[in-house]
């Protein structure tokens, strides 16, 4: 039994993400909020921070169960951060005033308004820079994925970047560090390519048991 939890910030519909997990090998998908978060580290094989919402409200929500999330990180339970879920793992963001989770060193910046239309909504191709990426197993370089964002991450350690995409500037499209996997794009909205990544994340969860 592979059990995956989706952290719900209370900001929007995460049904498509839940459905994708169920289609791609997760036996049980639980929607979790801060009220029951502290107890789930003994029950789940992976957790997803979805890409729905705004930075400060999401940080406020997860800060209510910070100890429980820290336990998940310490136990090396796989984490998939999508869009906002990726951004909140950093030290800070230009979107908000609150400090980020500071799990990944670096900051989140606004896309350059003088170069591109904001928000960036649509399909862009990936340049995969890490051929041994577990999340991209079976995914071809140049694959197209779906973005919806106004901000991008700037990790201090560029070695954790596994793919980039160009939207006026080159942005980190994905990162992998230890048990943490992140995408600036939305796999659950990225057709068969995204479905493969979701399946790969479920496989990662299974291997880590």
For the annotated catalytic residues, the residue numbers are 83, 186, 188
Q: Which helix (H) or strand (E) holds 40?
A: none
Q: How many CB atoms lie within 10 A of CB 103?
A: 17
CB 165, CB 185: distance < 8 Å? yes
For residue 199, the SS3 value is helix
Q: Which residue spans within 36-167 are E strands per DSSP? A: 46-49, 79-82, 92-93, 106-110, 120-125, 127-128, 144-149, 151-155, 161-167
Query: Which residues touch 154 (CB under 8 Å, ≥6 apart)?
Result: 106, 107, 108, 109, 172
CB 78 within 8 A of CB 85: no
Q: CA nearest 165: which of 181, 144, 149, 186?
A: 144
DSSP letter, residue 121: E
Secondary structure class of 145 (helix, strand, coil): strand
Q: Are 116 and 152 in contact (CB under 8 A)?
A: no
């Amino acid at each position: 039994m592979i059990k995956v939890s989706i952290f719900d910030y209370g900001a929007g519909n995460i049904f498509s993400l839940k459905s994708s997990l169920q289609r791609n090998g997760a036996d049980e998908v639980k929607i979790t909020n801060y009220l029951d978060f502290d107890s789930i580290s003994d029950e789940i094989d992976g957790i997803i921070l979805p890409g729905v919402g705004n930075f400060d409200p999401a940080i406020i929500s997860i800060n209510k169960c910070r100890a429980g999330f820290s336990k998940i990180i310490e136990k090396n339970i796989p984490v998939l951060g999508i869009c906002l879920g990726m951004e909140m793992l950093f030290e800070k963001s230009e979107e908000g005033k609150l400090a980020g989770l500071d799990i990944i060193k670096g900051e989140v910046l606004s896309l350059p308004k003088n170069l591109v239309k904001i928000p960036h909504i649509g399909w862009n191709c990936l340049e995969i820079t890490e051929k041994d990426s577990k999340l991209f197993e079976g995914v071809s370089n140049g694959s197209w994925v779906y973005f919806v964002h106004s901000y991008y991450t700037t990790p201090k350690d560029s070695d954790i970047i596994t793919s980039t995409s160009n939207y006026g500037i080159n942005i980190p499209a994905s990162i992998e560090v230890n048990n943490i996997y992140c995408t600036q794009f939305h796999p659950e909205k990225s057709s068969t390519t995204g479905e493969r990544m979701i399946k790969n994340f479920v496989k990662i969860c299974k291997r880590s048991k």
